[in-house]
Chains A and B, each alone.
Chain A
Amino acid sequence: MGLFSSLSEKITNIFSKLTRRGKLTESDIKEAMREVRVALLEADVNYLVVKQLISSITEKAVGEKVLKSLTPGQQVIKIVNEELTAIMGGTNAKLNVASNPPTIILMCGLQGAGKTTMCGKLGLNLRKQGKKPLLVACDIYRPAAIEQLQVVAKSINLPVFEKGTQDPVKTSKQAIEYAKQYGYDTVIIDTAGRLQIDETLMNELKNIKAAVGPTEILLTVDSMTGQEAVNVSEEFNNQLDITGVILTKLDGDTRGGAALSISQVVKKPIKFCGIGEKMSDLEPFYPDRMASRILGMGDVLTLIEKAEQAVSQEEAEKLEKKFRENSFTFDDYLSQLENLKKMGGIQNILGMLPGMGALKNVQVDEKQLQKNKAIIQSMTPKERNNPEIIKSSNRQRIAKGSGTTIQDVNQLIKQFEQTKELMKQMKSKKGFGKMPFNIG
Chain B
Amino acid sequence: MGFFKNLFNGLKKTKETLSKKLSMIFGRGELTDDFFDDLEAILIGSDMGVQTTEEIIDDVRAKCKKSHIKTQNEFTEILKQSILDILESGVKAEEEYPMAVLVIGVNGVGKTTSIGKMANYYKQQKKEVMLVAGDTFRAAATNQLVEWANRAKVKIVKQNEGTDSASVVFDGLTSAKAKNMDVVLIDTAGRLHVKENLMEELKKIDRVVDKTWAEVNYKKYIVLDATTGQNAISQVKYFNEAVGIDGIILTKLDGTAKGGVVIPIINELHVPVVFIGVGEGIDDLRPFDAKEFVDAII
Interface positions of A (Cβ within 8 A of B): 1, 38, 41-44, 46-48, 51, 110-114, 116, 141-145, 147-152, 155, 195-197, 222, 224-229, 231-232, 249, 251-255, 257-258
Contacts and interface: CB of A to CB of B under 8 A. Distances in A.
B144 A144 contact: yes
Residue of A47, A228, A258 ringed by the most chain B CB atoms within 10 A: A228
A197 B229 contact: no
B148 to A, nearest CB: 7
Given A114-B107, A195-B254, A253-B194, A228 B227 contact: yes
B174 interface: no
B50 A42 contact: yes
A257 B192 CA distance: 18
B90 to A, nearest CB: 20
A366 to B, nearest CB: 10
Interface of B: 13, 41, 44-47, 49-50, 106-110, 138-141, 143-144, 146-148, 161, 192-195, 225, 227-232, 234, 252, 254-258, 261, 280
A228 B143 contact: no
Given A112-B107, A226-B47, A143 B231 contact: no
Contacts of A150: 139-140
Nearest to A40: B50
Contacts of B141: 144, 148
Contact of B255 (A155, A197, A257): A197
A231 B138 CA distance: 29
A51 B228 CA distance: 21
Contacts of A251: 192, 194-195
A135 to B, nearest CB: 13
Contacts of B192: 249, 251-252
Nearest to A257: B229
Given A111-B108, A231-B256, A254 B231 contact: yes
A253 B238 CA distance: 11
A228 B234 contact: no
Given A149-B139, A225-B228, A229-B229, 13 more contacts: A42-B50, A44-B47, A48-B41, A48-B45, A111-B108, A144-B140, A147-B143, A151-B161, A197-B256, A222-B227, A226-B232, A228-B47, A228-B257
11 contacts: A47-B41, A112-B110, A144-B144, A150-B140, A222-B108, A222-B227, A224-B232, A227-B46, A227-B229, A251-B192, A258-B229
Contacts of A141: 280
A48 B13 CA distance: 19
A253 B140 CA distance: 27
- 8 tightest Cβ-Cβ pairs between the two chains A and B: A226-B229, A112-B108, A151-B139, A44-B229, A143-B147, A144-B143, A148-B140, A144-B144
Contact of B194 (A114, A147, A252): A252
Contacts of A224: 106, 225, 228-229, 231-232
B147 A148 contact: no
A44 B231 contact: yes
Contacts of A149: 139
A226 B140 contact: no
A253 B44 CA distance: 20
A193 B37 CA distance: 36
A42 B49 contact: yes
Contacts of A257: 229
Residue of A112, A142, A251, A257 ringed by the most chain B CB atoms within 10 A: A112
A228 B108 contact: no
Contacts of A112: 107-110, 225, 252
Given A151-B140, A249-B192, A111 B110 contact: yes
Given A112-B110, A113-B108, A196-B255, A227 B47 contact: yes
Contacts of A254: 229, 231, 234
A142 B230 contact: no
Contacts of B13: 197
Contacts of A227: 44-47, 229, 258
Nearest to B226: A228
A143 B144 contact: yes
A231 B252 CA distance: 15
Nearest to B192: A252
Nearest to A153: B139
Contacts of B229: 44, 224-229, 254, 257-258
A148 B230 contact: no
Residue of B41, B140, B254 ringed by the most chain A CB atoms within 10 A: B140
Contacts of A110: 227, 252, 255
A44 B230 contact: yes
A225 B232 CA distance: 9
Given A147-B140, A227-B44, A114 B255 contact: no
A111 B143 contact: no
A41 B255 contact: no
B143 A143 contact: yes
Contacts of A222: 108, 225, 227-228
B256 A225 contact: no
B237 to A, nearest CB: 10
A413 to B, nearest CB: 30
Nearest to A141: B280
B256 A228 contact: yes
A229 B255 CA distance: 12
Contacts of B256: 195-197, 228, 231
A76 to B, nearest CB: 22
A207 to B, nearest CB: 20
A294 to B, nearest CB: 15
Contacts of A258: 229
A195 B255 contact: yes
Contact of B139 (A47, A148, A195, A225): A148
Nearest to B225: A112
Contacts of A152: 139
Nearest to B108: A112
A152 B47 CA distance: 34
Nearest to A146: B140
B255 A228 contact: yes
Nearest to B51: A42
A219 to B, nearest CB: 14
